[in-house]
Each structure stands twice: as C-alpha cells, then as structure tokens.
Amino acid sequence: MCGIVGYLGSQSAAPILIKGLHQLEYRGYDSAGIALNCESESSFQLFKAKGKVSNLESIIPDEVKMRDNMPVAGIGHTRWATHGEPSTANAHPHLSMSGEVVLVHNGIIENYKELKDQLIDRGYTFQSQTDTEVLCNLVDLYYQQNGKNLRLAVVQALNKAIGAYAIAVMEQKDNQHIVCARKASPLVIGISEGNDEFFIGSDATPMVEYTHKVIYLDDEQVADVRLGHEVEIVNLDQSLAEFDVKEVDLDITALTKGGFPHFMIKEIFDQPHCLENCMRGRVVRLDDGTYDIKLSALHNFKAKLIRARHVIIVACGTSWHAGLIGKQLIEEMCRIRVEVEYASEFRYRNPVIEKDDVVIAISQSGETADTLAAIQLAKEKGALVFGIVNGVGSSIARAADTGIYIHVGPEIGVASTKAFTGQVTVLTMLALALGHALGTISEEYFQQTCHELTQIPLKMEKVLQQNDAICLLSTPFTFARNFLYLGRGYNYPVALEGALKLKEISYIHAEGYPAAEMKHGPIALVDAEMPIVFLATHHELYQKIISNMQEVQSRKGRIIAVVTEGDQEISKIAQATIEIPATLNALVPLLSVLPMQMLAYHVAVKKGLNVDMPRNLAKSVTVE
C-alpha cells in the first residue's frame, strides 16, 4: 500500500529519498513526505505534501537537496490512506510529541484507538487522524522511559501493537541511526559494497542503482541500522535473529518508461519478451525436435502434486482472473478438480482443506495481505502451498513450500498487464507438465501445445501491431458510462479481466459475464448507448456467441468484437473488430487479453486520466 524509503550515509539524502519515492509511488500516491536528521540541524527537517511525490519535490529547498559530504539519516514515505483522509497533516513521517522520534509506517495498527486513549491519559496530544502517529508516540513513550534506547523502544511498542506494519524510525539525538521493523508488510535493507551506506525500501527497486546486497526482514524482526556498524537484527523477544545478505538481480531498465508515454503501455508492449523470459529454460526443445517442460518445483514435489486430488487456487484481483484460467487448464489437462477462491474470502470461511490438497497462491507482488493469510491457513491444515509469484524474494515467495517465478520483471503500472500473461503462461506450463506426468493428455497434445506456446510471443507481436487501430476505434467509446464484456470458456475470465482493466483506469463502470448469461439479466441494460465487447474467437461455441451478438444487435447495442484472423462473419454484425492470430483454444487468453489491455489504456488516455496511477488504487495491497 504505502511506500517506505530510508537512507543512511554521506551523500545528499533528499534526492535519493525522492527518487526512491518516485520508484515506489505505484504503492500509493495520495501524499508524501521525508524527514532528515543532519548534524547541522538541531531538530528533524520535515517536508510533507498532499498528492504526488512531485508536489513534495517542489517544496524542498535547493540547499537541502544539495547538502553533501556529511553523515545524514533520512526516511520517506508515499501514502495510500487507511486512517484519515489524504492531507498534509496525515502524511508521513510523523513526529512524536517530544520531537525526538520520527516514524514512517506501512500497514494498519488495529488497536490504535485503545493505544491512543492510553497515550492521551499520559498527556500525549495528536496532530493527525492516523494510527501511525499513535505508534510514533508509543515508541516515544518507551524511549523516554527506557533512557532513550531507540531499538528497545521500538521493540516495546511493537509488542503492544496489533496489526500489520513496516516501519522506519529515527531519533533526533543520533543522525547515524535508523531502526526498522516489519510484520506482514515488506521491508528490505540495502548495504553498499563498502558497508558505508544503507538503503531502506518497501522493495528493492529504490536501491538497485546503488547496491545489489540486500537483507529481506522477516516478520516480527527489528533491525538496527547504524553507520560504521554491521546491521543487527532482533526478534520481538529481543533475542538476536540470524539473517542472510542476498544478491538482488533487478534490471534497472525495467524501471524506466523506455520511450513510451506511460509504464502501462510499455508493459503491454513488453509482453512478448516477458513471455520468452518466463518460458526460457522451461519449455525446451530437445535435440530430436520434440519438446519437454522442465520445472524444478514440479520435479522436487512431483509425488505430492501427482497425488493431489484437489487443487485450490487463491488470489486477488487480476491474479484471481489468471486463477480462473488456471482452473480450466488444470481440469482439462490433468483431470484434477480445481476451485478458485478470492483469498480474502477463503481465509475467513473455514474452508475444507485436506492434507493431500495443493493450494496454488498467485500474486504479482508476492505481498498481498489476504493471499499471504490464505497461505498461512493452508499451511496450518497441512496442504502443499505452491506459489506463482513475480516479486522475487517477496513474502509469498518465501512463505510458499515451492513455486514458480513468472520472471516478467518489475511491473510498475498499477493496472496489471504483463504479470497476468506471465501468470497464465506459468499455469499453462504447470498444467501441461503435470498432465504429461499423469498421462491425462496424449503425447501428441503435449507436443502440439508446447510448440504453440513457443509461438505465442510472435503472435502477440501481431496483436500489438493493431495498437493504432485500437486507439482510433476507442474514441467514440470514451463517452460511454457502462461497458459489458462477454466471453465463453477460456475467454470468460478474459472478459472479467477486460472489464476490470477498464474500471481501474478509465473509471467507466464495466462488467464481465459469460456470454450465455447475458439473457439472464445484463440484456436489460442493452441500448444504443451501451458498448459491448465480445470475445468471439473460433472455438466450438462460436455459433452460439454469434447468436448472442445478434440478440445485442437487435437491441441496438454497439459491438466491439475480438475475432480470429480472417473471420468473415462477425464484421457484418459488429461496429468494430480486432483480429488475433489463430491459436489453440487453451492458449487464446494469452492473445485475446491484449486488445482488452490496449482498449482500456486508450480510453483512459483519451479521458485525460493518469493510467499508471489510477485514483484510490495501489499496486500492492498489504492491508486486508
């Protein structure tokens, strides 16, 4: 949800923090702030602004930005509001009443009201409506009581706090010291090669420019980061914790727009290349020209996966839509029963999970709080947890028993695009490999599908060539107030995803439905004002979809149809058609989703909206 950065070293801290906040802005963008602790100042320097990080940047004086060559500690935050409206007062960092402690926080302190009352009884007053200021003053209370030991004060405060947090805290008396901690919200510490600079971030992106040596904090750990010292980490019972320093491998070019006007369209166009990365070394062509699928996760847990009689997929948002496609793939190719659950529902409804079940958790970020909680529940019940994750080293990747990274690189646009096709590709490889091992698909089917999967990146390029045409056809639809998306079989989840994309970035109400369900309700909405997107590629239900289209046509609905290349029939009925190359039915979503992404993008751009950072949304939802 929110993004946290921190810096400790002798470079000018403000520009490093600001740049880091820009890179984390996808996590939240309703207000931002930084706090600096410099030798030359007698108190913290605090800068906060409502809105985007660029607003904050504009209020920081040049002399602060250019200060160099003296040890400085700094923390910063970009916020996605939970408690209290987006405002400067509610923006982080929050200063304690004494002015001696300053803190940034990502997460929710659930018992903040109770803690606030206790602090008020002790004479504390508050400037904001946030739970974070309560946590800051709680740290301050212990800090004053325990002889100004910041690490101990943080441990004491966190022992009283219920909820989720990633925090970074500074003390005024020591400008070479930051304490940070996490529980259910991610936090990474970067260490420079010379051990003379430290970086803190909600993920590793703000630090890869400076270092690749990182520590991923674990839940309920508190790290003492001090210039001139090794990082020390303790648990909440104050015992010393062991930790590893890891090498992070992030491609810095993935963090720039590479000549595109927005991250979203860059990421849409990245997809052919991303899928090649996702399949590299996994879908392999052998010397005799046949294909094999090599997935180490499958190899290591083969017996358990083969034994599974029941698979439960848990996910949220776009990842849940990928899960719906995964269900069809696994059921078709492996003949194993699959349920797809919203992680948020699954975790609270005492689901039936047997020891031999496999729970597949799908997540782009690897940090979604509900998905993490669903994993914990599945593990308690003894199921094997299989993660399909993009965020390398993320909480879900670490919590899962095994899994497959989708390897599509950092996704910055808040509306997920390349992660979706990466997830569907991994699910396809998994279903194919498992079906092959189980003998539930023929060798011929396996070979043909593997071959066709390797052709998908090329075919995606052909769909992407229609970007200008889709841009043009989107114009009349920018004024629509509602959209309907209809598809059947593998295209039904694509219809849901198309509707979600449009809602997320253009703020137009849209619904996805199985096409045949239209007559059970949505048809009542159809009139000359209503655009209806049909996913009408060739498959056994093609004629039935055409009948659905005719029902819409006779009610004057405006039809945009995604059809298979060379289709002659649908262009006679639809106002606009978008062609995709022919492929196997099970692989159609990998192509048919591209027009959905491009259509949503162009409608939103034409409406003048911020497609990369749509209102009220966050890329990574680390609160429930």
Residue numbers at the binding site for ligand G6P (CB under 6 A)? 316-319, 363-365, 368, 371, 414, 416, 617, 619-621
**Cα 395 from Cα 399, distance rounded (Å):** 6
Helix (H, G, I), strand (E, B) or coil at 130: coil
Residue 363 or 425 with smaller CB distance to ligand G6P: 363
Residue 156 or 416 with smaller CB distance to ligand G6P: 416
CB of 467 to ligand G6P, least distance (A): 21
Contact of 25 with 56, CB cutoff 8 Å: no
Distance of CA 575 to the CA centre of its chain: 35
Which backbone phi and psi does 453 adopt, to 5 degrees?
-60, -40
> Please, how many CA atoms are within 13 Å of residue 37, restricted to the half-sphere of its CB?
25
Computed on alpha carbons and rounded to an integer, the radius of gyration of the chain in Å comes to 26
CB of 388 to ligand G6P, least distance (A): 10
**Cα 561 from Cα 21, distance rounded (Å):** 41
Give the DSSP letter of residue 166: E
In 78-149, alpha helices (H): 112-121, 131-145
CB of 98 to ligand G6P, least distance (A): 38
**Cα 574 from Cα 550, distance rounded (Å):** 9
**Cα 561 from Cα 567, distance rounded (Å):** 11
Residue 563 one-letter amino acid? V
Selected catalytic residue, list 50, 183, 327, 619: 619
Residue 101 or 322 with smaller CB distance to ligand G6P: 322
Contact of 6 with 200, CB cutoff 8 Å: yes
Residue 624 one-letter amino acid? E
CB of 36 to ligand G6P, least distance (A): 31
Residue least distant from ligand G6P (Cβ): 317
Residue 2 designated active-site: yes
CB of 210 to ligand G6P, least distance (A): 25
Residue 81 or 621 with smaller CB distance to ligand G6P: 621
Distance of CA 600 to the CA centre of its chain: 19
Contact of 533 with 539, CB cutoff 8 Å: no
3-state secondary structure 505-553: HHCCEEEEEEHHHHHHCHHHHCCCCCEEEEEECCCCCHHHHHHHHHHHH
Residue 304 tokens, joined: 């358990």
Helix (H) or strand (E) holding 53: helix 53-59
State the Cα torsion 578-579-580-581 to the nearest 10°.
-170
Residue 56 or 396 with smaller CB distance to ligand G6P: 396
Residue 180 designated active-site: no
Residue 385 or 560 with smaller CB distance to ligand G6P: 385
> Please, how many CA atoms are within 13 Å of residue 501, restricted to the half-sphere of its CB?
30
CB of 601 to ligand G6P, least distance (A): 14
Give the DSSP letter of residue 157: H
Selected catalytic residue, list 2, 136, 180, 274: 2
User: In terms of DSSP bridges, do strands 384-389 and 402-405 run parallel, antiparallel, or are they unpaired?
Assistant: parallel
Residue 329 or 623 with smaller CB distance to ligand G6P: 623
Residue 145 tokens, joined: 């009581």
Residue 132 or 365 with smaller CB distance to ligand G6P: 365
Can you state the angle between helices 263-279 and 418-438, rounded to 10 degrees? 20
Residue 333 one-letter amino acid? M
CB of 599 to ligand G6P, least distance (A): 17
CB of 528 to ligand G6P, least distance (A): 33
Residue 438 or 617 with smaller CB distance to ligand G6P: 617
CB of 375 to ligand G6P, least distance (A): 11
**Cα 176 from Cα 194, distance rounded (Å):** 16
Active site residues: 2, 619
